[in-house]
Amino acid sequence: MARTPLVLDVPALGALERGAGNLSGQLAQLLREAIHRGEIVPGDALPSTRLLAASLQVARGTVVEAYEQLIAEGFLESQRGAATRVAEALSGAGAGAGTRVRKAHTAHGRASRTSLPEPAARFAQVAREFTPLPPMPFAVSVPVGLTAPADIWRRLGNRVRAKGPGAPAGYDDPKGALPLREAIAAYARKSRSVHCDAGQVIITSGTQQGLYLACQVLLGSKDQAWVEDPAYRGITATLENNGRGSAMIRVPVDDEGIDVEAGIRQAPHAKVAFVTPSHQYPLGMPLSMARRSAILAWARTNDAWVVEDDYDSEFRYEGYPFPSLHSSEPDRVVYLGTFSKILFPSLRLGYVIVPHDLADAFCGARVLMDRHPPNADQHVLAAFMADGHLERHIRRVRNVYANHRAQLIAAIDALLPQEVAWVQPGDQGMHLVLWLEESLDDREVVAMAARAGVAVRAVSPMFSPGNGRPGLVLGFGGFSNAQMEEAAQRLAAVITDAVRSGVGRRGAG
């Protein structure tokens, strides 16, 4: 197939002063300035002389002359049969014109401001904290081997993107694609007893967006929100960075999940409770039946909302999962689901299920954020669900995760003494928490593990300030048994080393 060279438009060229004469000289000067400002950079292809002449409404010879002048000066270069380009030599260190170009650019940038805006530093910190882990043990939800949907996903993708409903189109429904919302309503009803219709389902780019939308829609400017202690950083960081840090009431978690009595003591009139009832994040216990009744009763009495983050309830390995909170109180619970865990995180698709009277509000908040989710993958996922692949996939990966979980626990038990590191009990999910001896600094251990080629996250930042306990979140993706075993050995060596040398001890450099 013939390839069309990438031709650069030069929008910032500005106008030629026709009355002033020497049009080719003027054009050459405009191009020099565009290069100096960094608007066109080394390697960029310029428009053909014919095209540029037509768009500037000058004779083609004028453009030819300007290009030739700049080639002679070393700003441009041309090869027979190829587009004229900004000279690559300009990017070389020490090259006269190149240095001038970069200096002009940086000086321009620096002179125009003295410091970054106040929120910029905080958001930059969030970016550092949320840097994804490399795809190696023990990063959570990495779709490799048996946990990757592989060929089916590609086949369906090709089908819907080429001519099907995922082909390029105009703006669509902000709630998301109807076939996907219908498939999700059916799935949530069957698997989680969430009774809803497609009109109550709003497709999100994952639970993170669902949490963000819920903060915007449900919390008035003076309202307080209960948040578990410890909790997913995706919710605590969202509240902290949207000027709601002081409205966040951290409610302790014990063996039965969030301590509702403690929440009522601290902030009886809070407007929202953000909870992970199926599988407390990160610790893993389900919310007990007594606490479920208590939190819903509190919400009813106080006209409050419960936001149920049901991120991985499909992965329970003994017995059946508790039904969702939503199933008991559909008018008070905003239910958040995600495909990051059961399929793969890069899909960036999740959903919010809201009572009918909140649907428009969530829709509006969504529109202001990003209009609507990208269309094509919604249709791929809808087809994946409609053809029964999702249920098959979940059955398969559930077994993989159950095995990996058992294998990892056995490896840790064999490699590390209980008084140094011990696993938080549990029977579900795709991660476990490995508590560390109290004197260790888990962030230091994370850095040491990364240097040893093991990917883990620290637990202490998930607690409220001053209440942190050191621990590690260990995910088990579709890595092979051999990879998991080897990584467990390396992690055990890191922890043993940290204890022996004191490198990881709190306060130690």
| Residues at the site binding ligand PLP, with contacts judged by CB under 6 A | 206-208, 232, 234, 276, 281, 309, 311, 338, 340, 345, 350
Query: Which is nearer to ligand PLP, 259 or 309 (by Cβ)?
Result: 309
Please, are residues 494 and 445 in contact by the beta-carbon 8 Å criterion? Answer: yes
Report CA-CA distances (Å) from 36 to 63, 76, 112.
19, 13, 17
CB 70, min distance to ligand PLP, A: 49
Alpha-carbon span 430 to 281, nearest angstrom = 11
Query: Which is nearer to ligand PLP, 36 or 366 (by Cβ)?
Result: 366
CB 24, min distance to ligand PLP, A: 56
* Terminal Cα-to-Cα distance of the chain (whole angstroms): 59
CB 206, min distance to ligand PLP, A: 3
Backbone angles phi, psi at 122, to 5 degrees: -65, -45
CB 135, min distance to ligand PLP, A: 15
CB 230, min distance to ligand PLP, A: 11
Query: Which is nearer to ligand PLP, 42 or 282 (by Cβ)?
Result: 282
Query: Which is nearer to ligand PLP, 237 or 498 (by Cβ)?
Result: 237
Please, are residues 496 and 457 in contact by the beta-carbon 8 Å criterion? Answer: no
* DSSP-assigned states of every residue in 341-407: TTT-GGG--EEEE--GGGHHHHHHHHHHHHSS--HHHHHHHHHHHHTTHHHHHHHHHHHHHHHHHHH
* DSSP-assigned states of every residue in 188-203: HHHHH-----GGGEEE
Backbone angles phi, psi at 85, to 5 degrees: -125, 160
Query: Which is nearer to ligand PLP, 345 or 355 (by Cβ)?
Result: 345
CB 348, min distance to ligand PLP, A: 7
Q: Which residue has the closest beta carbon to ligand PLP? A: 206
**Helix and strand totals (H; E) in the chain:** 16, 14
CB 204, min distance to ligand PLP, A: 8
Largest CA distance in the chain: 87
Please, are residues 116 and 448 in contact by the beta-carbon 8 Å criterion? Answer: no
Continuous segment of H or E residues that includes residue 210: helix 207-218
Query: Which is nearer to ligand PLP, 309 or 444 (by Cβ)?
Result: 309
Query: Which is nearer to ligand PLP, 309 or 442 (by Cβ)?
Result: 309
